[in-house]
Structure 1
């Protein structure tokens, strides 16, 4: 299982250099006890602007208190995740079971700001290895539960039409897309996402069916037609064992 490569940031670009300086000043001023720190998010991908916030993970001594802080420093908004090594390893392990790898991506796809003891680089390598391995496979019980839920949702979706309540239809369609993405990415043993990362992770997991799901959701939003999305969801269900109605037992 390969973790899709991400282009390394253009360290020499003016904006990336400014982001690194701003993040470094913030860490030095606010967290003098830090043993390491990395800059992630759009800055690490070379996609930030002067108004982008800074995503910083700070490595604390082993007795440090895990927390998340949102603050402004030198007129730059920053989201700071503070963790000890054991905290980070616990978050990494949790990513395997939740199949959401926010902590892994933030740490693996990052720029090192500070690494006093070499722990940051070791953790980065661990995160990269876990990303490449992919999330844990679905158990049979997890797969069947997800199939049953998605079958129920797609039945609700198929029952809607342009003559029904458009708010209800959109609400059901949103849930259908999320659950179909969860089942498809889990089946492919690829990482799931939320918000803007849902379509990105979905297309990375399965470019064909993932794009069909997204196009079907868009068609419903534009034309109140559930058929394309329903058809795409049935492809996901058939790939994972088929719709599950009669005979399902939730153990």
Structure 2
């Protein structure tokens, strides 16, 4: 929802007719910064809302202008990872993958938590590799499959195999394929400056 300039942009949750409603309130002045933040986060939440939302009232054409800008940014793709971000993601995914394989099958809570972390980091790295948008929650599988249907499906299927059968092999194998796309696992020699 676009508010007139001078209002405070915010995210607000309320209940309407018994259902929770989440409002993303912006002004024409603060919308470009919100779009840029989405691009840096690589998720595009506001961009997709403006692209796919249905304008109900737009007497001055601000919503349609915002929609056009959102579509331009979506087509351009998310901000690329910096070299440092990519290397850190390689290292983190390698650690999660190693931890997943080292976790005993009877340590189900640890195994499931590590599998979730492995899936999220692999999805982050794979979508970045394809210059595609990522997501969180239910949007993660949707964006992952859109970015790479084959490897995305292997990651999701591997995650399900951990959940249903306590077998980390398929998820670890898919994560390793993601790592191979971006230079391989990263262990020894990784340095993260502080």
TM over 0.5: yes
Tell me what 1:18 maps to: none
Q: Distance in 1 between matches of 2:165 and 2:41?
A: 34
1:77 is displaced (CA, Å) by: 3.8
Larger radius of gyration: 1
Out of 171, 179, 185, the residue aligned to residue 229 of structure 1 is 171
> Does the 8 A contact of 1:59 with 1:120 survive in 2?
yes
Q: Distance in 2 between matches of 1:183 and 1:139?
A: 12
Instruction: Give unmatched runs, 5+ long, in structure 2.
Output: none
Distance 1:100 1:190, change over 3 A: same
Instruction: Give unmatched runs, 5+ long, in structure 1.
Output: 1-57
Out of 84, 96, 106, the residue aligned to residue 27 of structure 2 is 84
Tell me what 2:113 maps to: 171
1:64 is displaced (CA, Å) by: 0.8
Q: Distance in 2 between matches of 1:86 and 1:170?
A: 43
Q: Distance in 2 between matches of 1:134 and 1:206?
A: 15
> Does the 8 A contact of 1:161 with 1:224 survive in 2?
no
Out of 129, 154, 159, the residue aligned to residue 97 of structure 2 is 154
1:76 is displaced (CA, Å) by: 5.0
1:204-215 equivalent positions in 2, closer than 5 A: 204-215=146-157
1:75 is displaced (CA, Å) by: 4.8
Out of 82, 87, 96, the residue aligned to residue 139 of structure 1 is 82
1:105 is displaced (CA, Å) by: 0.5
How many residues end up aligned between the 2 structures? 193
Tell me what 1:48 maps to: none
The answer to whether residue 144 in structure 2 is matched with residue 202 in structure 1 is: yes
The answer to whether residue 178 in structure 2 is matched with residue 245 in structure 1 is: no
State the Cα deviation string for residues 49-72 of structure 1 (Å, max 9, x = none).
xxxxxxxxx211110111222223
1:155 is displaced (CA, Å) by: 0.6
Out of 109, 115, 120, the residue aligned to residue 52 of structure 2 is 109
CA RMSD, Structure 1 to Structure 2 (Å): 1.2
Higher helix share: 2
Distance 1:72 1:166, change over 3 A: closer
Q: Distance in 1 between matches of 2:44 and 2:111?
A: 30
